[in-house]
Chain A
Amino acid sequence: MAAAAQGTSLKSYLLTRLALVVPMVLILLTFVFLLMRVAPGDPISASLGGHVPQSVIIDIKHRLGFDQPLWRQYIEYLGDIARGNFGRTITDQRPISDIILVNGAATLELTFFAMIVAVVVGVIVGLVAGRFRDTPWDVGGRLFGIVIYAMPVFFIGLMAQLFFGSYLGWLPTSGRASPITQATLVTHTNIYTIDAIIDGNWSALKDVVLHLILPAVTLGLVTAGVFIRLIRVNVIRTLKDDHIEAARARGIAERDVVYRHAFKNALVPVITVVGLSLALLLGGAVLTETTFNWPGIGHELVLYLENRDYNAVQGIVVVFGLVVVFVSLLIDIVNAFIDPRIRY
């Protein structure tokens, strides 16, 4: 009976969450549309101003429909989105879908490896800090977490470029691969590590991995700061729990109590935070990509934003939004399944 009640509530919760995606996306679309129009400047002047006669600029704005009433532009925009047509960029006539696929793959690759760095660093430092509370390990771990979280991502990136790239000369400082590797690499998925593996091109794989290290570590470290604090607090709290005391009372070795019982429970909330960190990671990716000339979707967003390219910015921001919305939804669903205490 109880299980049936829980099943029903979970189903209705999921349906509600799915239904909420529609107004969320609509609000996002409207907000981005208005923000781009309210911001001073326009894409045609940004692109042609300073060298083309005004009559030409007016003519082009008219042909592109930028002189039409805002409501009409908005309806046309929503209509296109509803048909799945994000259109083309104004600046270079590139299909928005191409940006999402090609540059989105670059961002996906970067954020995936950054997440690995974040989880590995965050979990290890957080566990150690929590386990050895109020010792120099804990102080060091907390300090590290606060500093990397507080430091701007571009500053960490710049320092890493100068030290590991320029001073030590160990690692490349920009791009996804060296120019010749990129020129010769056959792209199947636009995720270079996978493409290199598919082709069995090991020299390309090495080159791509080397290019990934600095941006992924930079972005990963910033996100790791969040994990460190969370895991440390969870470990401290879990170590005081009754079931840990009971395990100790049963004579289980302290090492097993800590590593097999306490740490496991302390890591459960991380799943939620990993999902929520995606927004942070995507935001950080914009800055990281700009710093490292990483041609991801955030890098493109900055370039198109400078040119007030309405179509490009709208398309990219909506995709960013959709990714965050669906990952949040996914995390909620996973949480609902793995944690029976959750009721809706």
Chain B
Amino acid sequence: MVRKRIGWRWAAALAALGLVAVAAVAGAAWARGGHAQAVTLVDGTTDSVTNIDPANEYDFGTFTLDLLIYQGLYGFPHGAKLEPVLATKCVPKGTNATWFCTLKRNIKFSDGSPFTSADVKWTFDRVIKIKGDQGIYALLSNLKSTTTNGTYGVTFHLKSPQSTWPFILATSAGFIVPKSLYPADKIRDNSQSQMGTGPYELVKYTPGQQAVFKANPNYSGPKPKNDNLIINYYSKSSTMKLALQRGEIDMAFRDFTPTELQSLGKASGIKVHTGPGVVIRYMVFNPTRAPTNNIAVRKAIAYLMPRQTIATRVYHGFVQPLYSMVPAGLPGHTDAFATQYGRTPSVAKAKAVLQKAGVTTPVPIDIWWTPSHYGDASADEYAEIQRALNGSGLFKVTLKSAEWAQYSAQPGKRYNAFQLGWFPDYPDAEDYIVPFYQPDNFMANGYNSKAMNTLIKREYAAPTTPRRLAVIKAAQALAAKEVPIIPYWQQKMIAVSRNNVKGLNQTLDAAFQMRFWLLSK
């Protein structure tokens, strides 16, 4: 018995010694490895990744990742202005239904293989053939075929004229992949290697956790200002905030709540960077069902919309009031709603428009919003709208909410008035007009205006940019007059970093793209 007890003591002592040894070795190794972080930029995000293969990528989180690996014929490498990237130029032939592009020479994929017109044709053909579940192929719905003209020439044959075709080439549907690696008829799996001509190579991807990049040695542009980049994925912004404050990550791009941003703005060692943004929020009406089928009701709500209150009280200034579907800062923007309804709410004008239409007040109306897609501030946002409308005495608002999975299934067919937000496929006014006001729009709200349909057709086929922007302005004025949608804020582009991160001011613009290769620390 005594021997047994002594044995236990020996074992305990050895275990303790072992632990001390492990801790000592670990501590020493930790100290040795302490310098690795100096060359690596670590970003945090609450965005998620779907398919890295651009043939099935149609969300912002994956786009941010893809932008590091791939390039398109066009893009926004230096700011909000569309520029040729892998092309030297693309020009329409005759009408805007045929576009001819000449490609840059001496461009290489990250494995050193050359980029040619065959890769371009392969890329566009496979997006259309695969028809991925994420729906990115819808952006190429106007593309009839792609043909090559020698090694460095490509022609896009469209079904109908489209003056904004180069913008489509800048979307992820136009990110060029090498013919040698990507299959023609199926998506390349996330677990497989990915290859493009972009500034980085993806060296490791752990779903839902981390994407690790290193600078692409064959990149044709200036060398990235950081050698390695890590994007860490968080499911909650509160956890990401703690990680940033503790220095576990160097910066965070998307998405903190307004309260967290306000708190981080006061934290020492941390900077909140803001720039022009193109994300918008709006309220949609179904103009075919009571009470929103009455234009007077829609106009009265437009007169009462508390934009400034929402921007200040709910979003602490991280959004700005928006008076058109086209955000301020994009060419063609006009403050159409401000012109039509004023910049500040007017109960008197709302009352007058309802009285003139013979509408009995207060008008009972259900307004829907979702708590699970547009951030925690949505509840406060809609509480402010309810307060403003009920406070006027003209409406009796009942707020209703549903989870996004339920809410998103054709909301326009089920709700009279409801919240939605928009992130553009490409930063052009067209992408804020056509998807919303065309007859079979994605919201399914039943809006169908002959005048608007004509404007949309004219916009698509406009031969010059000035003429196109003139149509865009007319469409905004008509949209404000018919009010199937009320836009109310646009968000700034926001990134939060520790003080040692430099270069963020070069990437916060209306293109809304995080160009990590410009950042250093």
User: Is A42 an interface residue, CB under 8 A from the partner?
Assistant: yes
* Max chain A C-beta neighbours (<10 A), residue from B51, B138, B402: B138
Tell me the minimal C-beta distance from A252 to chain B in angstroms.
13
* Contact status B138-A179, CB under 8 Å: no
Beyond A180-B230, A183-B204, is A45–B408 a contact (Cβ under 8 Å)?
A: yes
B210 at the interface (CB under 8 A from A): yes
Minimum Cβ distance to chain B for residue A344 (Å): 36
| Interface pair B248/A172, CB less than 8 Å apart | yes
B474 neighbours in A (Cβ, 8 Å): none
Q: Are B50 and A42 in contact (CB under 8 A)?
A: no
Q: A293 touching B236 by the CB < 8 A rule?
A: yes
> In the complex, which residues 280-315 of chain A have their Cβ closer than 8 Å to any Cβ of chain B?
290-293, 295, 299-300, 302-303, 306-308
Whether A40 lies near B212 (C-beta < 8 A) is: no
Name the contact of A53 in the complex, choosing from B243, B402, B423, B442 (C-beta under 8 A): B442
| Interchain CB contact under 8 A, B248 and A93 | no
Q: Would A40 and B442 count as touching, CB distance under 8 A? A: no
Q: Which residue of A lies closest to B191 (CB)?
A: A98
Q: How many B residues touch A, CB cutoff 8 Å?
A: 73
B406–A41 contact, CB under 8 A?
yes
Q: Report which of A173, A176, A179 forms a contact with B239, defined as CB distance below 8 A.
A: A173
Partner of B212, one of A44, A90, A183: A183
- Asked whether, in the complex, the Cβ of B190 is within 8 Å of the Cβ of A94, the reply is yes
Q: B48 at interface (Cβ–Cβ under 8 A)? A: yes
A53 touches B245 (CB 8 A): no
Q: Beyond A92-B50, A166-B242, is A306–B372 a contact (Cβ under 8 Å)?
A: yes
B58 near A293 (CB under 8 angstroms)? no
| CB atoms of A295 and B209 under 8 A apart | yes
Bound CA span A165–B235, Å = 18
Instruction: Choose one: A41, A94, A102; the contact of B405 (CB below 8 Å).
Output: A41
Are A173 and B138 interface neighbours, CB within 8 A?
A: no
Whether A335 is near chain B, meaning CB under 8 Å from some CB there, is no
Nearest CB of chain A from residue B10's CB, rounded to whole Å: 20
Query: Shortest Cβ distance from B419 into chain A, in angstroms?
Result: 10
Residue of A nearest to B51 (CB): A93
A53 touches B246 (CB 8 A): no
Asked if A194 is an interface residue, CB under 8 A from chain B, the answer is: no
Residue of B nearest to A169 (CB): B246
Q: Report the Cα distance A39→B425, complex, angstroms.
A: 31
For A102, list chain B residues within 8 Å (CB).
206-207
Interface-forming stretch among A7-15, A199-207, A320-328? A199-207
CB of B260 within 8 Å of the partner chain: no
B403 at the A interface (CB under 8 A): yes
Contact A166 B246 (CB under 8 A): yes
Inter-chain contact B242/A165, CB cutoff 8 Å: yes
Nearest CB in chain B: distance from A217 CB, A: 17
Tell me if B422 and A51 are in contact (CB < 8 A). yes
On whether the beta carbons of A302 and B235 are closer than 8 Å, the reply is yes
B204-232 interface bits toward A, Cβ cutoff 8 Å, 1 = contact, 0 = none? 10111110100000000000000010101
Question: B373 contacts A55, CB within 8 Å?
Answer: no
A49 within 8 Å of B (CB atoms): yes
A54 contact set on B, CB distance < 8 A: 410, 440, 442, 444
Q: Given A161-B242, A179-B232, A203-B30, does the pair A50, B40 have CB atoms closer than 8 Å? A: no
Determine the chain A residues whose CB is within 8 A of the CB of B441 once the complex forms. 53
A residues in contact with B259, CB < 8 Å: none
Give chain B residues whose Cβ lies under 8 Å from the Cβ of A291. Answer: 236, 239
| Chain A residues whose C-beta falls within 8 Å of the C-beta of B135 in the assembled complex | 48, 52, 56-57, 60
State whether A92 touches B49 (Cβ < 8 A): yes
Question: From A57, which residue of chain B is reached at the shortest CB distance?
Answer: B135
Chain B nearest CB, measured from A210 CB (Å): 10
B230 touches A183 (CB 8 A): yes
A180 to B30, CA, bound (A): 12
Query: Are A207's CB and B206's CB within 8 A?
Result: no
Q: Are A293 and B234 in contact (CB under 8 A)?
A: yes
A50-B421, A293-B235, A293-B239 known; A203 and B32 CB under 8 Å? yes
* Per-position 1/0 for B20-42, Cβ under 8 A of A: 00110111111011001100101
Does any Cβ of B come within 8 Å of A64's Cβ? yes
Residues of A within 8 A of B444 (CB): 54
Q: Which of B26, B408, B421 contacts A202 (CB 8 A)?
A: B26
Contact of A52 among B42, B138, B246, B423 (CB under 8 A): B138
Assess whether A90 is in contact with B133, with CB atoms less than 8 Å apart.
Answer: yes
Q: Is the CB of A303 within 8 A of B30?
A: no
B185 at interface by CB-CB < 8 Å:
no
Q: Is B249 an interface residue (CB 8 A)?
A: yes
Which residue in B29, B33, B42, B408 is a CB contact (below 8 Å) of A41?
B408
In the complex, B131 has a CB within 8 A of chain A: yes
Most A Cβ at <10 Å: residue of B40, B137, B242: B242
Are B190 and A92 neighbours in the complex by a CB distance under 8 Å? Answer: yes
Q: Is B420 an interface residue (CB 8 A)?
A: yes
Which 9 residue pairs of A and B lie closest in terms of their CB atoms, listed nearest first? A49-B408, A41-B405, A40-B406, A203-B29, A206-B26, A45-B409, A202-B26, A41-B406, A46-B405
Give 10 CB contacts A-B under 8 Å: A39-B405, A40-B402, A44-B133, A93-B50, A93-B187, A202-B29, A293-B234, A293-B239, A302-B235, A307-B405
Having A45-B405, A172-B246, one finds 4 other A-B pairs with CB under 8 Å, namely A45-B410, A47-B134, A51-B423, A102-B206
